[in-house]
Amino acid sequence: MSSTDTAAGRRGAAEVSVGDELPPLSVRITRADLVRYAGASLDFNPIHWNERFARQVGLPDVIAHGMLTMALGGRLVTDWAGDPGAVVEYGVRFTRPVVVPDDDEGALVEFTGKVAEQREDGTFRIDITARSAGQTVLGRAAAVVRLA
Amino acid sequence: MALDESFTGRVYPPSSTFEVSREKIREFADAIGDPSPLYRDVAAARAAGYPDVIAPPTFAVIISMKANDVIISDPDLGLDYCRVVHGDQSFVHHRPIRAGDRLVAVAHVDSVMSRAGNDFLSVRAELGTENGEPVTTARATLVARGTADAAKGASQ
C-alpha cells in the first residue's frame, strides 16, 4: 500500500519516520539566476538586480528574491518526496536577505530538512533550515507533505 | 502615517483569469533549477496520476502577488510600496496547480496592525478555477518599515 504501488521515485509514508533527515541541498545563486527568476516569477523589484537601487534603500548589495530562496527550500522537500504534488502546505518567514555579489561565485545557500512530526491525518511536517554566509535566512520554514 | 486598520476584512473583486501554460511551468521550474519530469513531461505527470504537468509548490506566487497588487496599490490604504518588505509567505494547496488551469484570485486583507513603528499587512489570495474549485490559498505578511505614527522621530 505504500511505496510498492506508487510511481518510480515517489516516497511512501511507510518509508518515513519522525526524525529522518532529508538529503541536504546546496545551491549557488548568481546574478544571472536572479534575472532568470525575475522573468519567470514576474517579480521585477530592482533590489534583485540593480545594485545602485539596492544600496539606495539601505541594502548592502543586490539580494535574492525571498521567494527564490523559498522555492529552493521547496526543492529540498520535493526532491525527497519524489512528487511535488505531495506538498500540501508550505510556509516560511523571511528573516535575513541572501546577498548576491556581482561575481561568478554568487551566494551559496544551504538547505537541510528533517521530518518533525506525523500529524493525525497521516501527513508529515518537514522542518527546513536555510543558511547563507553563516546565518539562517528563513525562519519557521516548514512544509506539510501527504505521501502515498 | 499608520495604515487604516478598518481595512481588515476587506475583499477585492476577482482578478482576471490566469491561464497556466506548460511553458510557464517549465520556465519557472528552470528558474528554480528543478529538473523534475512532473513539471515538463506530460506522460510522466499522467503516470503519476495528474491530468497534465503540475507546477512547483511556490508557482502560485506569480498569481497571488499580482492579486495582492490591488491591495498594495489601493490609494485609500495609502501603503508606501517603497518601504514594503515581504515578511512571510505560505501556501495551502487544495490540489496541485497544473497546466490548463484557468485561475482567478480573490484578494483579502486579513489584518492591518501597527507595532513598534512598523505596519503589518496580512493579505490572502484565494486561487480557484473559473468554475469555483478552490486550488491554492496564499498568505503573505507585508511589512512597511517605519510608516506608523508611533515611529515618527524614533525610526528616522
CA distances from B125 to A94, B27, B65, B71, B150 (A): 19, 23, 8, 11, 29
Q: CB contact, 8 Å: B48 with chain A?
A: yes
Q: How far apart are CA A107 and CA B2, in angstroms?
A: 36
Of the candidates B49, B50, B62, the beta carbon closest to that of A42 is on: B62
Does the distance separating the beta carbons of B86 and A67 come in below 8 Å? yes
Q: What is the pTM of this model?
A: 0.93
Domain assignment of residue A102, yes or no: yes
- For the segment B20-76, what is each residue's pLDDT rounded down to a tens digit? 999 999 999 999 999 999 999 999 999 999 999 999 999 999 999 999 999 988 988
Pairing between strand B84-93 and A135-136?
A: unpaired
Its ipTM equals: 0.93
Identify each DSSP E strand in B49-133 by its residue range: 84-93, 102-115, 118-129
Q: CB contact, 8 Å: B86 with chain A?
A: yes
Contact between residue B86 and residue B123 where contact means Cβ atoms under 8 Å apart? no
Q: How far apart are CA B127 and CA B106, in angstroms?
A: 7
Structural domain for A112, as ranges: 18-145
Per domain, the residue ranges of chain B are: 5-20+59-155
Nearest CA in chain A to B44: A7
Does the distance separating the beta carbons of A39 and B93 come in below 8 Å? no
Domain assignment of residue A62, yes or no: yes
Q: How far apart are CA A41 and CA B55, in angstroms?
A: 12
What are the residues whose beta carbons fall under 8 Å from the beta carbon of A132, sequence distance 6 or more? A96, A98, A99, A107, A108, A109, A110
Domain assignment of residue A5, yes or no: no
Specify the number of domains making up chain A: 1
- For the segment A30-78, what is each residue's pLDDT rounded down to a tens digit? 999 999 999 999 999 999 999 999 999 889 999 999 999 999 999 999 9
| Structural fold of domain B5-20+59-155 | Thiol Ester Dehydrase; Chain A (3.10.129)
Domain assignment of residue A12, yes or no: no
pLDDT at position B147 over 80: no
- Best of B30, B83, B90 to disrupt the A interface by mutation (most A CBs within 10 Å)? B90
Q: How far apart are CA A125 and CA A119, in angstroms?
A: 7
Does the distance separating the beta carbons of B88 and A33 come in below 8 Å? no
- For the segment B85-137, what is each residue's pLDDT rounded down to a tens digit? 899 999 999 999 999 999 999 999 999 998 888 899 999 999 999 999 999 99
Looking at residue A18, its pLDDT comes to: 98
Q: Which residues numbered 126-155 in B keep a CB inside 8 Å of some CB on A?
A: 139
C-alpha cell recorded at residue B98: 497544473
Q: How far apart are CA B89 and CA B69, in angstroms?
A: 15
Q: Among the residues of chain B, which ranges form H helices?
A: 22-31, 42-47, 61-72
Q: How far is A19 from chain B (nearest CA, A)?
A: 23
Domain assignment of residue A44, yes or no: yes
Does the distance separating the beta carbons of B93 and A88 come in below 8 Å? yes
Phi, psi dihedrals of residue A125, rounded to the nearest 5°:
-100, 130
C-alpha cell recorded at residue A41: 516569477
Looking at residue A57, its pLDDT comes to: 87
Q: How far is B52 from chain A (nearest CA, A)?
A: 12
Q: Which residues numbered 108-127 in B keep a CB inside 8 Å of some CB on A?
A: none
Looking at residue A8, its pLDDT comes to: 53
Count CB-CB contacts under 10 A for residue B30: 15
